[in-house]
Amino acid sequence: MKVLKVDHIGVAVKSLDETLKFYQEMLGLELQGTEVVEEQKVKVAFLPVGDTEVELLESTDPEGPIAKFIDKKGEGIQHIAFRVENIEEAIAELMGKGVKMIDEKPRYGAGGAKIAFCHPKSTNGVLVEISERE
């Protein structure tokens, strides 16, 4: 498995509109776009920063994973994503090394990516996402 770069940092927020004010007005970042990912019950805003991006995540459902994360831990960094060359090979290699995976097969992620999450019990408490993009 080859990790190419930090793809993005996922930040759980209660309100994209309110949070975007800080990132745009205070930091001067430009909004690349938004997308709703129904499967994950989330609305995502993309803010490129150099060769990576900040991904703001707002729940579209009070029972969605982002809403549950915010209820438990509050707003803040929810995950870090690493871009890999081949996600299927990366999943197999991680599992072969004993890493517990939330996703044993890739699923659709925002921005057209194929994604899979490693279980935080295998990553010292950090929710790690691996991502493949064309």
User: pLDDT truncated to tens, each residue of the chain (134 aa)?
Assistant: 999 999 999 999 999 999 999 999 999 999 999 999 999 999 999 999 999 999 999 999 999 999 999 999 999 999 999 999 999 999 999 999 999 999 999 999 998 999 999 999 999 999 999 999 98
Question: How many CB atoms lie under 10 A from the CB of residue 53?
Answer: 20
Task: Please report the DSSP string for 29-47 in residue order.
Answer: PPP-EEEEEGGGTEEEEEE
**3-state SS, one letter per residue, for 76-99:** EEEEEEEEECCHHHHHHHHHHCCC
User: Which domains are delineated in the chain?
Assistant: 3-132 (3.10.180.10)
Check residue 13 and give its pLDDT. Answer: 98
The predicted model scores a pTM of 0.93
